[in-house]
């Protein structure tokens, strides 16, 4: 049995298999062919943080695959009152067929998955957001952007980390610019550099957005204040001066470069209103594709159960 906790755990071929499954399922869905790949299965969805896209896409996705989603927020289940993760895992995984968790430390996902009888999917942790980054790449392929030079400008957060993992597994060029003091985790950078030796990926880690964005095919940013960091807002806004993706920054990228954002977006901070609205078609396609990419991941995990 496999869990989808980080992109690090998968080979290039496995990641591409999930993407092709998602592509096939998207075509079927658009034709209103709802193939019941996960008929009668239940997806438990544990949320320790807020969500719009992750909740709606997983719940709709499992329904379209013939199953049902259970929304389990911290306010509703005993986990929020201190029941241990390992007990929660042993109970829920006897009743449902797959679990998605959005939480704080990645170690909480690791603990749940150690005790789980069913596949577990990371729906965002402090360290990683792998389903989002798979979706970003799925969207690039759909737009005909092959072998992109990807620039990420902003906080060295879960989005940046998952991009490092995907690019280094697939052999893409990734350039990350963060302010000093807000760099990506060094252990994650080291993992990416190691994977890059095998895949041929090119990785640039910088404190200079201009260097990172020059010649990019895709420019990505994310909120400067991730969930749980609200108290750092004032200091972060000061530190991120010069990191807003606006038309001036986009003019340094390739002429046909697209802008992507996992959302929610905070205009006037990490992106200007003008740049966001200019690229809204791509950004909202990226949001829609969460639905399709995650169906590919769920079906792939189901196909890799020990019993199959």
Q: Please give the residue ranges that form the binding site for ligand CP (CB under 6 A).
A: 51-54, 124, 132, 262-263
Torsion sign over Cα 78, 79, 85, 88: positive
**Least Cβ distance, residue 102 to ligand CP (angstroms):** 7
122 binds, among ligand NVA, ligand CP, none (CB under 5 to 8 A by kind): none
Query: Which residue in this structure is represented by tokens 């360290």?
Result: 127
Cα separations in angstroms, 270 against 46, 54, 174, 242: 29, 21, 19, 9
- For residue 129, indicate whether it is catalytic: yes
DSSP structural state of residue 267: B
Residue of 97, 155, 217, 222 marked active site: 222
Residue of 3, 53, 55, 129 marked active site: 129
- For residue 262, indicate whether it is catalytic: yes
As a whole number of angstroms, the distance between CA 37 and CA 175 comes to: 37
**Least Cβ distance, residue 263 to ligand CP (angstroms):** 5
**Which residue number, 67 or 154, has a Cβ lying nearer to ligand NVA?**
154
Alpha helices in the chain (DSSP H): 12-30, 53-64, 85-92, 106-115, 130-142, 158-170, 186-199, 209-213, 233-239, 247-250, 273-278, 280-303
Half-sphere exposure of 64 (CA within 13 A, CB side): 25
- For residue 305, indicate whether it is catalytic: no
**Least Cβ distance, residue 186 to ligand CP (angstroms):** 25
Residue of 262, 279, 292, 302 marked active site: 262
> Which chain residues interact with ligand NVA by CB under 6 A?
124, 129, 157-159, 222-223, 226-227, 262
92 binds, among ligand NVA, ligand CP, none (CB under 5 to 8 A by kind): none
Q: Which residues are catalytic?
A: 102, 129, 132, 222, 262, 290
């Amino acid at each position: 049995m496999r869990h989808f906790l980080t992109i690090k755990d998968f080979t290039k071929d496995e990641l591409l298999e999930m993407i092709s499954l998602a592509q096939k399922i998207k075509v079927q869905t658009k034709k209103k062919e709802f193939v019941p790949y996960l008929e009668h299965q239940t997806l438990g969805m544990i949320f320790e943080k807020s969500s719009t896209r992750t909740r709606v896409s997983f719940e709709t996705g499992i329904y379209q695959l013939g199953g049902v989603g259970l929304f389990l927020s911290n306010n509703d289940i005993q986990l929020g009152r201190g029941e241990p993760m390992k007990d929660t895992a042993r109970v829920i995984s006897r009743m449902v067929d797959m679990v998605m968790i959005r939480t704080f430390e990645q170690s909480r996902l690791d603990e749940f998955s150690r005790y789980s009888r069913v596949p577990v999917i990371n729906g965002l942790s402090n360290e990683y957001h792998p389903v989002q980054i798979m979706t970003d790449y799925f969207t690039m392929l759909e737009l005909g952007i092959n072998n992109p030079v990807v620039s990420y400008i902003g906080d060295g957060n879960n989005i940046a980390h998952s991009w490092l993992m995907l690019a280094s597994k697939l052999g893409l060029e990734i350039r990350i610019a963060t302010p000093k003091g807000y760099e990506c985790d060094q252990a994650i950078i080291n993992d990416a550099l190691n994977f890059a030796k095998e895949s041929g990926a090119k990785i640039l880690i910088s404190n200079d957005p201009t260097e990172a964005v020059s010649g990019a095919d895709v420019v990505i940013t994310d909120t400067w204040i991730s969930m749980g960091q609200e108290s750092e807002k004032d200091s972060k806004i000061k530190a991120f001066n010069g990191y807003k993706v606006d038309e001036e920054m986009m003019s340094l990228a390739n002429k046909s470069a697209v802008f992507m954002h996992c959302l929610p977006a905070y205009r006037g901070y990490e992106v200007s209103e003008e740049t966001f609205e200019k690229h809204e078609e791509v950004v909202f396609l990226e949001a829609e594709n969460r639905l399709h990419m995650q169906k590919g991941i769920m079906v792939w995990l189901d196909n890799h159960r020990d019993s199959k």
